[in-house]
Amino acid sequence: MEEKKAKKITVTGVVEGVGFRPFVYRVANSLGLKGYVKNLGGSEVLIHVEGNEREIENLVEHIKRSPPSRAIIEKK
C-alpha cells in the first residue's frame, strides 16, 4: 500500500470565475483524493490535495492537459 502524502499546488492564470475550482474538485474526487481548492485573489488558486503520489501526479497532469475551456494556466 502506498503512503499517503499531502501537497500544496498554486496555480496562476485565468483560474477564477471560469469553473476551475469545481473542475479540480471533480477530477480529484474521481481519483479518490481529498483536500480543498481555494481562491487566493487576483489570479491564483491554491490546491491542497491528499492521497498517494501517483494519483496526485495524475491530478496535476489532468489539470495541465484538460483545464476548463475558459481557463488559462500560466504557472503551476
Rounded Cα–Cα distance for residues 44 and 31 (Å): 23
* 52 in active site: no
Rounded Cα–Cα distance for residues 2 and 21 (Å): 27
Helix/strand number for the chain, H first, E second: 2, 4
Annotated active-site residue in 39, 54, 58, 70: 39
- Alpha carbon 25 to chain centroid distance? 7
* 21 in active site: yes
Annotated active-site residue in 21, 26, 52, 54: 21
Active site residues: 21, 39
